Chain A
Amino acid sequence: MGTQAEVLLKVENLRKYFPIRKGILVQRKVGDVKAVDGVSFEVKQGETLGLVGESGCGKSTTGRTLLRLMEPTDGKIFFAGKEINNLPPSQMRSMRNQMQMIFQDPYASLNPRMTVGDIIGEPLLIHGLADNVKREQKVRKLLDVVGLSPYHGARYPHEFSGGQRQRIGIARALSVNPKLIVCDEPVSALDVSIQAQVVNLLEDLQEEFGLTYLFIAHDLSVVKHISDRVAVMYLGKIVELANYDELYKSPLHPYTVALLSAIPVPDPNTHKERIILKGDVPSPVNPPSGCRFHTRCPRAQEVCKQTDPEFRDAGNGHQVACHFAEQN
């Protein structure tokens, strides 16, 4: 993976607010859930960017917003150099063959009334990429590629296990030869024994088809396996972004340090200092002033309550948003 690789996806200051409305007849806006609040990052051609954070930090919303499955409140999204955040719906639809998504819940993401063959072939049909005969051939090939058998195309989703269903979801995403695939926690609904198979499949496919992944997860050990770089999200913002090795060896943000300390080490003789964060994640309706992490940060000082730390480069492309990054 060359560091000079071309940037495929660039996100600038992305925001997604969900309005909170009150009132019976006249609805007035009383606030916003700031699910994603100013996120910027780049994904290079052929790499995997992991996006981690705890539940509710906005990582799935980020993935859906940058594919415009939800409309962004603010910010810019560039895909292959083209600004897509204000494309009209019809143009956006025709762009979708280049950017696909793999969903979290394989039990909910396949239409129960369509055969597997129809599900996998649907993107080809929509984008007019293959006639009926070619589509069938392609579907059979795709089933083979993801480790299923061609005759599975005639069956319905309920006849498959969770892992097999996720393979169907992967085949659907692959059908149009996309450049980018957003994987929204693709293994967290699967048994641990199946997780490795699916992650390995994703890696093989990346190599074979030159795919670029944005891999969303809450499990650092899964991300470790697949990612080239990792972005850590907390309460709607990215707090740290670096190569995985770099992040693992020298995390700069106290939140990352706490997350890493939670990864179990399969060695009974190692004694790790486990950092347990106090309190809960604050509400995204009313996020803390200054640095959002200051309410739970072991190193918080007065300045953290006042000013929001800038997301800056601390050397070697290791980006972090902490006033005291250099001292950590």
Chain B
Amino acid sequence: MAITENELYVISSPMRDIWSRLKRNKLALLGLFLVVLLCSIAIFAGVISPYDPTGQAMKESLRAPSAGHLMGTDVLGRDILSRVFHGARASLIVGVVATGISLVIGVFVGAVSGYYGGWVDSLIMRITDIFFAFPFFLLAIAIMTFLGPSFINVFIALGLIGWTNFARLVRGQVLSVKASEYVEAARAVGASNSRIIWKHVLPNTLAPIIVYATMNIGSAILSEAGLSFLGIGVQPPNPSWGLMLSEGTTYIWNAPWMVIWPGVAIFLTVLGFNLLGDGLRDALDPRLKE
């Protein structure tokens, strides 16, 4: 039997497959567009902002959106548009990095716990229970007080707290996947535990992890807002969306634009990451090829 070049099986590369599947999903492309847009705004904030985000002009205080200030001004007369642009930096970085730290710790801990079971599992799960037992903000404040208030410490604090949810989610998924016959088949052909976890178990637990991670980006941005509100996150006068929200709540009846615009920014970020995450989940699943 003659084999033509096209019949060779190693013609597909996984990345190209995933991209070609993602391309066909309109909503995922919208999500990708939003994420890219927000990232560009964060990167080029210094160039595209019409005003200095920290420049105060008391005479301009609490102006409604107008041609001069497209999103209005806040109580100190600072241009909200410029602050939203600059705030994108802090908020996006916090959302993505804190979620990344949580994801890495949580997936590792959850996979080990679920796969090995027994006393390892009991020990790890009791430790996560201890983390769960503390109210989120109390723990965050404790860690921030211990590390000292700084922007980088916000990631560390949020990452160190957020991993427990990932660990639980991953452990549950791993428990169900490791009982499947293809994992037993991998053991039967002589695969090592690390190979089984990496190649057989984790790829089959991806879907809920991706969805949860994209949702977590939004809640990390809001948590940073809470920390900033308490004075241990991003330090004023530097802007972050969360900080702008908390500053604006006092004036919500007189100057609603102070909370609306950072709110819209957070909403678009969360929406963008969610749509992209959903699309990625589907694109990564070969069963949904067509």
Contacts and interface: CB of A to CB of B under 8 A. Distances in A.
B8 interface: yes
Interface string B179-204: 01110111111111001000110011
A115 interface: yes
Interface stretch (B9-17, B45-53, B97-105, B273-281): B9-17
A144 B1 contact: yes
B126 interface: no
B286 interface: yes
B7 to A, nearest CB: 4
Query: Chain B, interface size: which category?
Result: 20 to 34
A95 B189 CA distance: 9
Interface string A269-282: 00000000000000
B73 to A, nearest CB: 52
B188 A69 contact: yes
Contacts of B1: 144
A46 B73 CA distance: 86
Given A113-B203, A156-B286, A127 B9 contact: no
Contacts of B190: 93-97, 123, 126-127
Contact of A108 (B8, B11, B181, B200): B181
A123 B189 contact: yes
Query: Chain A, interface size: which category?
Result: 35 or more
A102 to B, nearest CB: 9
Given A113-B204, A114-B199, A123-B190, A154 B287 contact: no
Nearest to B190: A96
Interface string B248-290: 0000000000000000000000000000000000000111010
Contacts of A169: 185
Contacts of B133: none
Contact of A110 (B10, B182, B188): B182
A105 to B, nearest CB: 6
B189 A172 contact: yes
Contacts of B138: none
A103 B286 contact: no
A154 B195 CA distance: 21
Interface stretch (A51-59, A71-79, A145-153): A145-153
B3 interface: yes
B189 A115 contact: no
Contacts of B12: 115, 154
Contact of B9 (A108, A110, A140): A140
Given A150-B8, A154-B10, A69 B203 contact: no
A297 to B, nearest CB: 35
A13 interface: no
Given A96-B188, A96-B189, A113-B204, A156 B289 contact: yes
A127 B204 CA distance: 24
B3 to A, nearest CB: 6
B10 A109 contact: no
Interface in B86-143: none
Given A103-B184, A103-B185, A113-B203, A150 B3 contact: yes
A170 to B, nearest CB: 12
A101 B188 contact: yes
9 contacts: A101-B185, A108-B181, A110-B185, A111-B185, A114-B200, A115-B9, A136-B8, A140-B3, A154-B11
Interface of A: 64, 67, 69, 93-97, 100-101, 103-105, 108-117, 122-123, 126-127, 136, 139-140, 144, 149-154, 156, 158, 169, 172, 176
Interface of B: 1, 3, 6-12, 180-182, 184-192, 195, 199-200, 203-204, 285-287, 289
Given A69-B188, A108-B180, 18 more contacts: A67-B188, A93-B191, A94-B190, A103-B184, A108-B181, A110-B185, A111-B185, A113-B285, A116-B9, A117-B10, A136-B9, A150-B7, A150-B9, A152-B9, A154-B9, A154-B12, A156-B286, A172-B185
